[in-house]
């Protein structure tokens, strides 16, 4: 059973993994809204390039904000080598690990229904079966876990990751969509959208985002995080780790850019070029935080803040999406509206994040961690 994951058993937890996850959560649950509302209050064309980077690309292309979801998936794979190693060392069998994986998949998928699937509306008319980031993580985690638990060599797992992308590319390019034909990558005519409409029907979310067929891409993204986690675990020399992360990152970015010449980078369908390009950026970001926190041993206020968020990422995301902290912030700060109507939304977002962060810091100080 110890052969399922061939990694060293003696290791220490790397701060960079938690801090990278916290960096992602900081923008997802705080900085994104704060910056959008701050720059949105400025009546000048000079802020348009900044505002563009704070929104998702309309269809083809890639903005700074487009890295947030891939990084969330990447970090879920990043911790898997350590997680599986710990469970194996605790004596879990392969069957027990499979059961735990399926349970975690179900929990994440169910939380996705609560967060963005409108489950709490108790109305089938507004319910979305598969429509959000947590469910994408669930799908990617399930695929990656099945690959890792049923293969022994890293090379085989690399082939699986490549195979997922090749299969997805072949399907998008050569399976015809009724009324459009094959190889069409428009919002209405792509195969991923057709499959979603066919399988999800009225339970789709009505956006241009696709999920069912895109799960192949989600799996490849989480697998890329697993590969990064393997590097972090396998190589004892810090400089060797750093160089491998940088080289993998650069190679993936170049591969994504080259593939984009034939298949554009389209986040909304999680195109193979998007997977390669965004995974490369994730590798580079991991290398940066590894250099800062684990090699240079920098430990300051912002690394601590990211660590708080990173260790309770799911809790932070649920607080942000379900607890109405923006309404609490608006109520507490309502007196400011009379002084600056344009900036009031900015203050609401600032207060919302402050409340969320205080809760997360309290949880960290009292060793309360939400695990799914």
Give the number of C-alpha atoms closer than 13 A to the C-alpha of residue 215, restricted to the C-beta side: 17
115-149 residue pLDDT tens: 999 999 999 999 999 999 999 999 999 999 999 99
Cα angle 278, 280, 286 (rounded to 5 degrees) comes to 105
Write down the pTM of the prediction: 0.93
Q: Write the DSSP symbol of residue 176.
A: P
Domain count, the chain: 1
Residues 100 and 103: their CA atoms lie apart, in Å, by 5
Enclosing domain of residue 71? 2-365
Q: Are 63 and 56 in contact (CB under 8 A)?
A: yes
Residues 225 and 79: their CA atoms lie apart, in Å, by 8
Whose tokens are 């959008």? That residue is 36
Residues 30 and 127: their CA atoms lie apart, in Å, by 27
Tokens of 116: 């963005």
Band of the pLDDT at 7, cuts 50, 70, 90?
Answer: very low
Residues 261 and 265: their CA atoms lie apart, in Å, by 9
Structure confidence at residue 12 (pLDDT): 58
Residue 232 included in any domain: yes
Residues 289 and 211: their CA atoms lie apart, in Å, by 30
Question: What rounded mean pLDDT belongs to the chain?
Answer: 94
Residue 60 pLDDT > 60: yes
Average pLDDT over residues 34-53: 94
**Cα radius of gyration rounded to whole Å, the chain:** 21
Q: Is 202 exposed, middle or buried (0-12, 13-18, 19+ CB in 10 A)?
A: exposed
Residue 370 included in any domain: no
Residues 144 and 262: their CA atoms lie apart, in Å, by 27
Residue 4 pLDDT > 50: no
Average pLDDT over residues 87-99: 90
Q: Are 358 and 366 in contact (CB under 8 A)?
A: no
- 325: β partners: none
Cα angle 128, 113, 31 (rounded to 5 degrees) comes to 105
Residue 371 included in any domain: no
210-220 residue pLDDT tens: 999 999 999 99
Q: For residues 305 and 5, which has the higher predicted lDDT (pLDDT)?
A: 305
Residues 15 and 288: their CA atoms lie apart, in Å, by 12
State the distance between the two ends of the chain, measured CA to CA, in whole angstroms: 24
Residues 201 and 311: their CA atoms lie apart, in Å, by 37
Residue 20 pLDDT > 80: yes
220-268 residue pLDDT tens: 999 999 999 999 999 989 999 999 999 999 999 999 999 999 999 999 9
Query: Taking Cα atoms as reference points, which of 356, 360, 361 lies closest to residue 32?
Result: 356
117 φ/ψ angles, rounded to the nearest 5 degrees: -90, 0
């Amino acid at each position: 059973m110890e052969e399922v994951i061939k990694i060293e058993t003696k290791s220490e937890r790397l701060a960079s993994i938690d801090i990278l996850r916290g960096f992602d959560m900081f923008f997802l649950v705080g900085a994104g809204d704060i910056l959008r509302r701050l720059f949105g209050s400025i009546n000048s064309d000079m802020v348009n390039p900044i505002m563009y980077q704070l929104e998702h690309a309309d269809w083809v292309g890639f903005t700074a904000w487009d890295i947030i979801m891939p990084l969330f998936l990447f970090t879920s794979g990043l911790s898997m080598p350590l997680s599986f190693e710990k469970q194996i060392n605790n004596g879990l069998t392969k069957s027990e690990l499979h059961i735990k994986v399926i349970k975690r998949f179900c929990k994440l998928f169910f939380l996705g229904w609560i967060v963005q699937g409108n489950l709490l509306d108790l109305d089938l008319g507004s319910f979305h079966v598969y429509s959000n980031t947590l469910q994408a993580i669930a799908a990617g985690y399930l695929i990656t876990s099945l690959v890792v638990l049923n293969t022994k060599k890293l090379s085989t797992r690399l082939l699986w990751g490549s195979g997922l992308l090749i299969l997805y590319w072949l399907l998008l390019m050569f399976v015809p969509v009724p009324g459009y034909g094959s190889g069409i990558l428009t919002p209405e005519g792509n195969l991923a959208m057709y499959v979603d409409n066919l399988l999800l029907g009225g339970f789709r979310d009505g956006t241009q985002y696709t999920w069912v067929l895109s799960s192949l891409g989600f799996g490849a993204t989480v697998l890329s995080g697993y590969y990064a986690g393997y590097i972090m675990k396998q190589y004892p020399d810090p400089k060797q780790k750093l160089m491998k992360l940088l080289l993998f990152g650069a190679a993936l970015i170049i591969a994504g850019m080259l593939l984009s010449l034939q298949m554009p980078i389209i986040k909304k369908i999680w195109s193979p070029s998007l997977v390669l390009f965004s995974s490369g950026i994730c590798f580079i970001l991991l290398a940066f935080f590894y250099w800062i926190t684990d090699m240079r041993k920098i430990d300051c206020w912002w690394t601590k803040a990211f660590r708080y968020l990173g260790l309770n990422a799911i809790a932070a995301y649920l607080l942000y999406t379900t607890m109405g902290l923006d309404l609490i912030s608006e109520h507490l700060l309502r007196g400011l509206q009379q002084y600056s109507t344009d900036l009031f939304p900015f203050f609401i977002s600032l207060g919302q994040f402050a409340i969320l962060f205080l809760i997360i810091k309290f949880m960290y100080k009292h060793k309360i961690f939400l695990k799914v």
